[in-house]
Chain A
């Protein structure tokens, strides 16, 4: 069975500081990994994803995540955050199962960027 753990429910950080949002997963099969972002009063939108190849993936707005198979982690990082990064971030794991495929979402991490 798959599971996803986001280790921090809330992360407050000052503007221009670095941030890391942690995500660990468990799965008995190969997985695809995603980070979604939800801005206030909006639905989720894809931030970045790992499918295969290079273990470091980047988004267009400066976030990056590294797939670490040995530690079963997919932590999200940004070297310098902006006020506009304030949002909730969800890690998701997708894998094949007997019925097709299944996607599991973590509980979410609220990022608060303070001026």
Chain B
């Protein structure tokens, strides 16, 4: 059974803290994605990576960075958390190169910044 796991289901952080969200997939997928999900806005792409140490900005990269040191792991970093980053964060992975390939999602991390 394919698996994408995320390090935390729920996280509460204070404004200004540095926050790490970890994602691991066991499917040997080249592509990995970070989305945030907000009511009425659907999923918005923050960053994606198509290979180790490679990354591309998505639609809303401001305030975020990512790291991909190993193929199976993709980390999202909030350098200085702010209240407007309170959201559900979803990680996904997929096979490379084809628009026809579906994405496999983790269970999500609900982050609250106070």
A-side residues, CB < 8 A to B, are: 6, 9, 31-32, 34, 36, 41-46, 49, 51, 90, 94-96, 99-103, 105-108
Contacts and interface: CB of A to CB of B under 8 A. Distances in A.
B21 interface: no
A100 B102 contact: no
Given A95-B99, A101-B98, A44 B105 contact: yes
A51 B100 contact: yes
B105 A43 contact: yes
Nearest to A9: B40
Given A44-B90, A51-B100, A99 B56 contact: yes
Specify the main secondary structure of chain B where it touches its partner: loop
Contacts, number: 55
Given A43-B90, A44-B105, A49-B102, A100 B97 contact: yes
Contact of A100 (B45, B50, B103, B106): B50
A44 B45 CA distance: 14
A43 B99 contact: no
Contacts of B35: 105
A31 B104 CA distance: 19
A54 B45 CA distance: 30
A78 to B, nearest CB: 20
Nearest to B50: A100
Given A43-B107, A51-B100, A107-B40, 5 more contacts: A6-B42, A34-B102, A36-B105, A41-B107, A102-B99
B99 A96 contact: yes
B36 to A, nearest CB: 11
